[in-house]
């Protein structure tokens, strides 16, 4: 029996998991990503807050599959998919496929606001996390070299979006101001620094339980974070952020964590994807009207009776969809019935700061120190390599007992935003 050629686009949680689970006796795999490494997105905020090294959450794809002769790794950007010829066109070559799996994930959604897109900082890659870190540390350095005035716009750190990323960033930045500035930047007055979180809905962590919503706001306020809810940022020109309430926030730092849209690719039928740029798939992750093309992870939109508005865009869904698709592709080769995907919700969680977290499990909800330990343990288990698990555990342990990560380094060339 000849092997089928499976081309996977994207090496995030979904693409990586699929490549690992596909039967090497039945399939040859080509894995294409625009980067040469897998990025552990849940911990981007810790890189941005100088709590982890970028290398701790970035994993070379070729090294992951170094002993897998049936997997070919290619770094490149996909320009077009030719469904008739079954070809994926990159900037350097055309790659044929028997079956194609799109796992390209999501990008930041600016909701068609070009001005905000031009001036805001984002957090959807390791590179962007480094840019946020460089930007913040450079602000501390420049402020410390002159008289620290209360009305300086560099004092204000504005985070837009009260989901897990926004909440975790706000908590991390607040801890830096409270713990790091007095010791390392004695010229700065922490009382003049502000962390402001702007959220469009009525609550932070609005998709979690009532306990999580209330606890996250309580924790953040106790840490000095200013929370503005039921408010949108209408414009930002690099200095003034205008809110839907009419209020103006003057800041040199606006981090946009307010939404995502899919990384769709040209070539498929227009009816294959939705206005939010996600591919509409059936219960087997097959894209509408494309029998041999699949979408898994954040880029896919699957309606079920339990999830009539689609599944949450979290790592667990991506990993489980990949596992189910791998099994189904094998069953199809053996001409066996395939299984519909059903998501088992294992819960959600977010950390707000040291000893502060919220955890929603199907059978219970809790907060505080125990929730923080659970958050750390489960994220540590998701990290790919034993080496990186140990490195991160050492960093976390050192930071916990010493309140110092010692990673506040500026590595900066020309970046999107200058101070």
Q: Let me know whether 271 and 204 are in one domain.
A: no
In a domain, 137, yes or no: yes
pLDDT at site 8: 98
pLDDT at site 399: 78
In a domain, 402, yes or no: no
Contacts of 37-43 with CB under 8 Å at 24 or more apart are 37/11, 37/61, 37/126, 38/11, 38/12, 38/64, 38/384, 39/12, 39/125, 39/126, 40/382, 40/383, 40/384, 41/12, 41/13, 41/124, 41/315, 42/315, 42/379, 42/382, 43/379, 43/392
Q: Let me know whether 129 and 246 are in one domain.
A: yes
pLDDT at site 29: 98
In a domain, 352, yes or no: no
Contacts (Cβ under 8 Å, ≥6 apart) of 271:
280, 288, 289
Q: Let me know whether 240 and 268 are in one domain.
A: no
Q: Let me know whether 308 and 235 are in one domain.
A: no
Is 418 a residue whose pLDDT tops 60?
no
| Strand duo 58-60 + 226-228: pairing | unpaired
Range of the domain at 144: 114-258
Q: Let me know whether 306 and 209 are in one domain.
A: no
pLDDT in tens, 2-36: 899 999 999 999 999 999 999 999 999 999 999 99
Task: Look over the chain and give the mean of its residue pLDDT values, rounded to a whole number.
Answer: 92
- In whole angstroms, give the CA distance from residue 238 to residue 256: 12
In a domain, 405, yes or no: no
pLDDT in tens, 36-69: 999 999 999 999 998 888 999 999 999 999 999 9
Considering its fold, how many domains does the chain have in total? Answer: 2
Question: Quick one: average pLDDT of 404-417?
Answer: 62
Q: Let me know whether 174 and 235 are in one domain.
A: yes
Q: Let me know whether 20 and 152 are in one domain.
A: no
Is 385 a residue whose pLDDT tops 90?
no
CATH number of domain containing 305:
3.50.50.60
pLDDT in tens, 126-172: 999 999 999 999 999 999 998 999 999 999 999 999 999 999 999 99
Q: Let me know whether 242 and 301 are in one domain.
A: no
In a domain, 398, yes or no: no
Residue that finishes a domain, picked among 285, 309, 333: 333
391: pLDDT confidence band, cut at 50, 70 and 90? confident
pLDDT at site 2: 87
Is the separation of the CB atoms in 278 and 297 below 8 Å? no
Residue that finishes a domain, picked among 282, 304, 333: 333
pLDDT at site 414: 58
CATH number of domain containing 169:
3.50.50.100
In Å, how far are 175, 295, 321, 377, 398 from 286, measured between CA atoms? 45, 7, 11, 34, 46
- Bridge-partner residues for 356, per DSSP? 353
Residue that finishes a domain, picked among 311, 333, 355: 333
Q: Let me know whether 123 and 253 are in one domain.
A: yes
Q: Let me know whether 304 and 224 are in one domain.
A: no
pLDDT at site 406: 56
Q: Let me know whether 309 and 278 are in one domain.
A: yes
pLDDT at site 34: 96
- Bridge-partner residues for 107, per DSSP? 261
402: pLDDT confidence band, cut at 50, 70 and 90? confident
Question: Quick one: average pLDDT of 247-268?
Answer: 94
């Amino acid at each position: 029996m000849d092997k089928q050629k499976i081309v996977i686009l994207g090496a995030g949680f979904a693409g990586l998991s699929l490549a690992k689970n596909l039967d090497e006796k039945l399939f040859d795999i080509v894995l294409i990503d625009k980067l040469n490494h897998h990025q552990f997105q849940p911990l981007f905020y810790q890189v941005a807050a100088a709590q982890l090294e970028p290398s701790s959450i970035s994993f070379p794809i070729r090294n992951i599959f170094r002993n897998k002769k049936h997997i070919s790794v290619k770094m490149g950007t996909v320009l077009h998919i030719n469904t008739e010829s079954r070809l994926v066109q990159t900037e350097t070559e055309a790659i044929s496929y028997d079956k194609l799996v799109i796992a390209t994930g999501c990008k930041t959604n600016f909701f068609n606001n070009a001005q905000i897109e031009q001036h805001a900082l984002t957090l959807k890659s390791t590179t962007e996390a480094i840019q946020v870190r460089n930007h913040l540390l450079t602000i501390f350095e420049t402020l410390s070299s002159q008289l620290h005035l209360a009305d300086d716009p560099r004092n204000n750190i504005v985070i837009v979006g009260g989901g897990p990323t926004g909440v975790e960033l706000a908590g991390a930045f607040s801890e830096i101001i409270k713990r790091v500035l007095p010791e390392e930047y004695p010229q700065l007055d922490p009382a003049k620094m502000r962390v402001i979180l702007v959220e469009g809905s009525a609550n932070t962590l609005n998709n979690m339980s009532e306990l999580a919503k209330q606890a996250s706001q309580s924790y953040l306020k106790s840490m000095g974070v200013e929370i503005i809810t039921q408010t949108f940022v209408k414009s930002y020109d690099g200095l003034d952020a205008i809110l839907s309430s009419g209020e103006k926030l003057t800041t040199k730092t606006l981090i946009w964590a307010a939404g995502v849209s899919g990384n769709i690719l040209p070539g498929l039928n227009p009816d294959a994807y939705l206005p939010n740029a996600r591919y509409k798939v059936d219960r087997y992750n097959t894209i509408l009207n494309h029998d041999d093309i699949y979408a898994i992870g954040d880029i896919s939109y699957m309606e079920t009776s339990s999830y009539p508005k689609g599944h949450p865009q979290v790592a667990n869904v991506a990993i489980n969809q990949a596992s189910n698709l791998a099994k189904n592709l094998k069953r199809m080769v053996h001409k066996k019935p395939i299984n519909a995907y059903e998501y088992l919700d294992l819960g959600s969680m977010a950390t707000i700061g040291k000893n502060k977290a919220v955890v929603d499990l199907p059978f219970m909800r809790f907060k505080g120190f125990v929730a923080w330990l659970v958050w750390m343990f489960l994220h540590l288990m998701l990290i790919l390599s034993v080496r990186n698990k140990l490195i991160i555990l050492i960093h976390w342990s050192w930071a916990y007992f010493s309140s110092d990560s010692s990673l506040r380094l500026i590595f900066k060339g020309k970046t999107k935003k200058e101070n």
